[in-house]
Structure 1
Amino acid sequence: MGYVARVTTTPAVPRPAATVILVRDRTDPSGERAPLQVFLQRRVASMAFAAGMTVFPGGAVDAGDAIAPARVRGPGPAEWGRRFSCDPGEAARFVGAAVRETFEECGVLLAAPAGPPSGSSSGTAEPPPPDDAWLRAARSGLIDRTRTLADVLDGAGLVLRADLLRPWARWITPEQEPRRYDAAFFVAALPAGQAADARTTEAIEAGWWYPADILAEHAAGAARLMPPTWLTMTELAGFADASAVLAAAAGRVVTPTRPALVRKGERTVAVVGDREIAMP
Structure 2
Amino acid sequence: MELPQELLERARAIAAGRIDPVPARDSATVALLRDRPGGLEVYLLRRKATMAFAAGAYVFPGGSVDPRDTDHALAWAGPSPAEWAKILQSDESTARGLVCAAVRETFEESGVLLAGPGPDEVVADTTGEDWEADRLALIDRGLAFADFLDRRELVLRTDLLTAWAHWVTPDVETKRFDTRFFAAALPYGQRTRDVGGEADQVCWARPREALNRAERGDIFLMPPTYVTLGELAEYGESAAVLAAEREIVRVQPRVVEIDGQVRLDV
User: What residue is the counterpart of 2:250 in the other structure?
Assistant: 256
User: What residue is the counterpart of 2:100 in the other structure?
Assistant: 96
Residues 84-138 of structure 1, C-alpha deviations (whole Å, 9 max, x = no match): 1111110110001111101111100111014x535xxxxxx3425x672321121
User: Structure 1 residues 107, 265: closer, same or farther in 2, change over 3 A?
Assistant: farther
Aligned Cα root-mean-square deviation (Å): 2.0
Q: Is the 8 Å Cα contact of residues 227 and 270 (structure 1) preserved in structure 2?
A: no
Aligned-pair CA distance for 1:10: 0.6
User: What residue is the counterpart of 1:127 in the other structure?
Assistant: 124
2:226 is the alignment partner of 1:230: yes
Q: Is the 8 Å Cα contact of residues 84 and 253 (structure 1) preserved in structure 2?
A: no
Q: How many residues align?
A: 255
2:82 is the alignment partner of 1:74: no
Q: 2:42 aligns with which of 28, 38, 41?
A: 38
Structure 1 SS opposite 2:250: coil
Unmatched segments (≥5 aa) in structure 2: none
User: What residue is the counterpart of 1:215 in the other structure?
Assistant: 211
User: Structure 1 residues 240, 78: closer, same or farther in 2, change over 3 A?
Assistant: same
Aligned-pair CA distance for 1:261: 2.8
Structure 2 SS opposite 1:207: strand
Residues 165-219 of structure 1, C-alpha deviations (whole Å, 9 max, x = no match): 0100011111111211100101000001111122122111001001111111100
User: What residue is the counterpart of 2:28 in the other structure?
Assistant: 18
Q: Is the 8 Å Cα contact of residues 74 and 149 (structure 2) preserved in structure 1?
A: no
User: What residue is the counterpart of 1:121 in the other structure?
Assistant: none
**Paired residue type of 1:256:** R
Aligned-pair CA distance for 1:27: 1.2
User: In 2, Cα distance between the equivalents of 1:140 and 1:148?
Assistant: 11
Q: 1:137 aligns with which of 99, 115, 133?
A: 133
**Paired residue type of 2:102:** A
After superposition, where does 1:142-153 map in structure 2 within 5 Å? 142-153=138-149
**Paired residue type of 2:120:** P
User: In 2, Cα distance between the equivalents of 1:218 and 1:247?
Assistant: 28
Residues 222-252 of structure 1, C-alpha deviations (whole Å, 9 max, x = no match): 101010000000111111111111111xx43
Q: 2:156 aligns with which of 134, 141, 160?
A: 160
Q: 2:235 aligns with which of 215, 236, 239?
A: 239
User: Structure 1 residues 263, 202: closer, same or farther in 2, change over 3 A?
Assistant: farther
User: In 1, Cα distance between the equivalents of 2:256 and 2:47?
Assistant: 25
Q: Is the 8 Å Cα contact of residues 67 and 96 (structure 1) preserved in structure 2?
A: no
Unmatched segments (≥5 aa) in structure 1: 29-34, 119-124, 273-280
**Paired residue type of 1:17:** S
Q: Name the % identity.
A: 44
User: In 2, Cα distance between the equivalents of 1:62 and 1:217?
Assistant: 33
Q: Which range moves more in the overlay, 216-225 or 65-74?
A: 65-74
Residues 51-76 of structure 1, C-alpha deviations (whole Å, 9 max, x = no match): 11010000011111124366010011
User: In 1, Cα distance between the equivalents of 2:168 and 2:42?
Assistant: 22
2:120 is the alignment partner of 1:117: yes
2:193 is the alignment partner of 1:174: no
User: In 2, Cα distance between the equivalents of 1:196 and 1:170?
Assistant: 25
User: Structure 1 residues 131, 195: closer, same or farther in 2, change over 3 A?
Assistant: closer
User: In 2, Cα distance between the equivalents of 1:24 and 1:263?
Assistant: 41
User: In 1, Cα distance between the equivalents of 2:66 and 2:112?
Assistant: 18
User: In 1, Cα distance between the equivalents of 2:83 and 2:242?
Assistant: 17
User: Structure 1 residues 176, 134: closer, same or farther in 2, change over 3 A?
Assistant: same
2:37 is the alignment partner of 1:27: yes
TM-score, reference length from structure 2: 0.90
User: In 2, Cα distance between the equivalents of 1:253 and 1:72?
Assistant: 24
Q: Is the 8 Å Cα contact of residues 106 and 200 (structure 1) preserved in structure 2?
A: no
User: In 2, Cα distance between the equivalents of 1:267 and 1:206?
Assistant: 35
Q: 1:59 aligns with which of 55, 60, 63?
A: 63
